[in-house]
Chain A
Amino acid sequence: MTSEDRAPVDFGFGEEEEMLRDLARKFLDERIPVETLRQLVAPSPVPVYEQGEPPAWDRSVWEDLVELGWAGLAVEEKEGGAGVSMVGIAALVEEVGRHALPSPLLACLACSLVLRSADSEVARRRLGQIAQGTPAALAITPGDGSWEPERSDIQARRVAGELTLDGTAHFVQDALKADFFVVTARLNDKLLLCTLPADAPGLSVEQNHIHDLTRDQATLRFRQVRVSPSSVVTDDGAEVLRRAWPSLLVLASADLCGSSEWQLQATVEYAKNRKQFDRPLGFFQAVKHPLVNAMVEIDRARSLLYHAASCIDAASVEAEKASRMAKSAASDAGAFISDRSVQLHGGIGFTWESDVHIFFKRSLHGQVLWGDGIHHRKKLAEILIDRDG
C-alpha cells in the first residue's frame, strides 16, 4: 500500500551501512560465538531458573561495543553519537539478534530513539550520556502490556512546585543493566516524559523471573520519587512516543529477523549432517519444505523491515504502517522457525544442552515485545480499513 513513499529504491543501504553490518558480524562472530554464548547464559538451568539470579552478560563485550561507538548509533553526531541511519541500525541489530547478544545495547538504542524525537535540552544531555556508554532503559509499559504509547500506570503530581511519581512501570527491558531510566507518567491530561537514575530514592527495581536467558526484565515501583526539573524531557510524551514508535518496532523486528536467520541456518546445518534411513534429513520433503517455508517468511519480514527503516529515514507518512507490517511479519516468522527449529532437531532439540532453546526463548520474548502479530494487524486495520476508507 506504499504507492509513493520518498524512500530510495535501495532502501538507502549503501557502502557505509554495509561496512557497519559486516564489522558487526565479524566482531560478534569473534566475541560471542554460540559456544561462548551457551557457556555464558546457559551453563545449567539452576542459577537463573531455580535460584532466580539475573541472566549473565559479558560487560567486557559491552565496553568494546561502546568503544566501537555502538551505544551512540542512534545519537546525532553533534551530541557525540554516530548518527547512523535507521537502515544501518536495522542491519546492525539483525547481527545482534543473530548472535542473541546479551547487552544493554537494544535498551540504549530504544531510549536514544525516544529521546531524539523529543527536541529538548534534557533529551540532548541524556543522549550524550548514552553515546558515552551510560546504559539506559525504557520504563513506559503499563501492567496489562497494552503497548499503547499514551498509557502509563505511573501518576505524576506537582505539589508546591515539587514533582513526584507514584505507581509502577512493567516489563522494563534490560532494567538491571541500566544506570538510568526513561519514564512516562500521567500528569493531569498530559504524559510526562522524564529520566531518573536507577538509584533514585523511592524507586525499587524488582527483577522479573523470565524464560529468556539473554536479557533481563524488571518491574519498577515508584513511591514518592522526586523528579528534578533538570530531568523533565517533555510533558508532551504521548506525541514523542508516537513519533518514535515505528523505530522501536524496527529494533524489535530486526532482532527477530536476526535470531530467526540463525535458527534457520542452524536447523539447515543439522538437516544436512544428521542421517536417518541412510539419508540426510534434508532429503525428506517433510523436513525440506517447512525449512523453505520458514526462509520465505523470514525473507518477507526482512524486506518489510528494511522498507520500514527506510520510511523512517525518509520521514515518510508510511512509517507507521510499514513498521507494523514489519513487526507482524517478524513475530510470525520468528514463531514459525522457532517451532520448526526445535521439532526438526528431534530429541536433541528438546534438551538443555542444545543451542536451539536459547534462540527459541529470545525469539518468544521478542515476538510479544512491543506487540505481536495480532496486535499490529489490529492497529493496521484501523488505519487501512477505518481511516483510509
Chain B
Amino acid sequence: MAASPSSPEQNDFREYARRWLQENAPPPPPERLPMSPLEIMTVGQRNYLQDWQGQCHAAGLIGCDYPQSYGGGGHTNFQPIANQELGHARVPFMINIVGLSMAAPTILKHGSEEQKRRFIPGALSGGEIWCQGFSEPGAGSDMANQQTMAVAEGDNWIVNGHKVWTTLGHFARWMILIARTSRHHKYDGLTYFLAPIAGHPGVTVRPLVKMTGESGFNEVLFEDAVIPDSHRLDDIGKGWAVAMTTLTYERGAAESAGGTGGQSSDPAQGLIELARETQRNGLCAAADPVTRDALMQRVIAMEGLRQSARRARVPGLCDHPMRLPLQQKLLSSENHQANARLGVEIAGAASTLYKLDPNAPRQGYWPLSYMASYGNTIAAGTNEIQRNILGERVLGLAKSK
C-alpha cells in the first residue's frame, strides 16, 4: 500500500509496531530457516519460529483485531498495519500459517463461544500449531468428493480416512478437517471438525517429500480415531459452507489474523539487484535490453498487485465487489512463480547449482523458489479452479461442471 490510513490511533500503532520490530528483531536462527512455513522440517526450526510468533503476539502484532477474550488486541483495522510493518521489517515469518490465516478466522465466524475461547488464543500465539485436512487422494480440485468418513457414536465421531498435502502436520496439535457424515449428499453430507492430531490414538502422520527434496508436508491417516462432538464446528452437514469461509481466507480474499512476515517487500527489486550483479560475456546482465524488458514486466506486475489491493478498498472503483479479492491467490502465486523463473534465467548457468553448492548464488534461492512456487499455484484450489471461479462468479459465465 502506498499511503497510510489516517486515524491518529492507527498512526500511533504503526509507529509502535515499527519501533518494536526494530528493537526486538530476533537473533539469527540456530539453523537455517526454509523460505516459507511450508518447508519447516526440524524441531530446532520449529522452536525458534514458535518462540518468535509468541513474542509478536505478546507485543500485540498478531490477532490485533480479534476480541481480547480470545487472545486478541480488541482493535479495528490494526492488523493490515501490523502486516505491512512485519513485511517491511524483514523479520522471520510466522510459523502458524494455517492457524492464523485459516483456523482462527473460521472459528471466529462459525465456532461456539467455548470453541472460540479454547482454540483461538493458541492459534494466535503459535503455542498450538494447526494443519488443514481438506485434500485427499481422490479429492483435489473436486474438493467435495471427500471420502474420509465420520460416524456418530454417542457423543463422539469415529473417523476413518486419508488426508494428503498436509503442511505442518508433523508439528500440529490440531487439524481443521472436513469429513463425510452422509453418503447421500455430495455437498450437504460434509461436516467440519477441529481434530486432535499430535499423539492422538488412531492418527498417523507420515512425511511426504516435495520435488525440491524438502519435506514439511505430510499424509495423515485416520484409523478409528475418536473426535468428541464438542470439536464439531457449526452444524452437521454444514461442512462445505464452513470450508468456503476457510478458503476465502486461505486465498487471501480477506485479511488473516496475522501477517506472514519474512518476505522482502519488493521482490522485483531483488531481481534488479541480481541482474546488476550478474556478468555475462563480460557485460552486466542489467544492460541487456531483453532482460531489462523482462525485469520491467515484473516491476509493473508487482506494482499492479499492490495498487489492486489499494483499489479493492475503494468501492466506487470496483465494478463487482469480489472481482479484485478473488484474483488475489491467482495473481500472488503466478507473480511469485514468474519472478522466480526470471531469477533462474538471469542467474543463467549458476542456476544449475543446488543450495549446498558453495558457488550457488544466494544459496540457490532462485531455482529452489521457482520449484517451490508450484506449491502455491496448486494449493488452495489450483489456479485453473481459480479461473473457473472468477469466470463464473464475477463474469457470470456458465459453470464448467
Contact = CB atoms under 8 A, between A and B. Distances in A.
Contacts of A193: none
A296 interface: yes
Interface string A377-389: 1101100110001
Nearest to A12: B314
B387 A285 contact: yes
B395 A1 contact: no
A21 B317 CA distance: 10
A2 interface: yes
Contact of B272 (A3, A261, A268, A384): A384
B138 interface: no
Contact of B323 (A8, A295, A307): A295
A333 to B, nearest CB: 10
A221 interface: no
A304 B395 contact: no
Interface string A296-314: 1001111110110000000
B314 A11 contact: yes
B297 to A, nearest CB: 7
A26 interface: no
B3 A306 contact: no
A10 interface: yes
B286 A7 contact: no
Nearest to B334: A296
Interface stretch (B67-75, B93-101, B304-312): B304-312
A289 interface: yes
A288 B307 contact: no
A9 B327 CA distance: 20
Contacts of B6: 9
B152 interface: no
Interface of B is mostly: helix
Contacts of B391: 282, 288-289, 291-292
Q: Interface size for chain A: under 10, 10 to 19, 20 to 34, or 35 or more residues?
A: 35 or more
A280 interface: yes
Interface string B309-331: 01101101101000110010011
Contacts of B380: none
B396 interface: yes
B252 to A, nearest CB: 15
Contacts, number: 158
Given A7-B3, A385-B275, A1 B324 contact: no
Nearest to A11: B314
Contact of A296 (B3, B313, B330, B392): B330
Interface of A is mostly: helix
B169 to A, nearest CB: 32
Contacts of A179: none
A232 interface: no
A217 to B, nearest CB: 28
A329 B293 contact: no
B317 A302 contact: yes
B338 interface: no
Given A10-B313, A285-B388, A307-B310, A299 B300 contact: no
B308 to A, nearest CB: 4
Nearest to B324: A299
Interface string A110-126: 00000000000000000
**Top 6 A-B pairs, shortest CB-CB distance:** A282-B397, A300-B304, A303-B307, A377-B296, A288-B391, A283-B398
Interface of A: 1-11, 13, 17-18, 21, 91, 261, 268, 271-272, 279-280, 282-285, 287-289, 291-293, 295-296, 299-304, 306-307, 322, 325, 328-329, 374, 377-378, 380-381, 384-385, 389
Given A282-B395, A289-B384, 20 more contacts: A1-B266, A2-B303, A8-B3, A91-B317, A261-B319, A280-B397, A285-B387, A291-B391, A291-B397, A296-B390, A302-B311, A303-B308, A303-B311, A306-B311, A306-B317, A307-B2, A328-B300, A378-B289, A378-B296, A384-B299
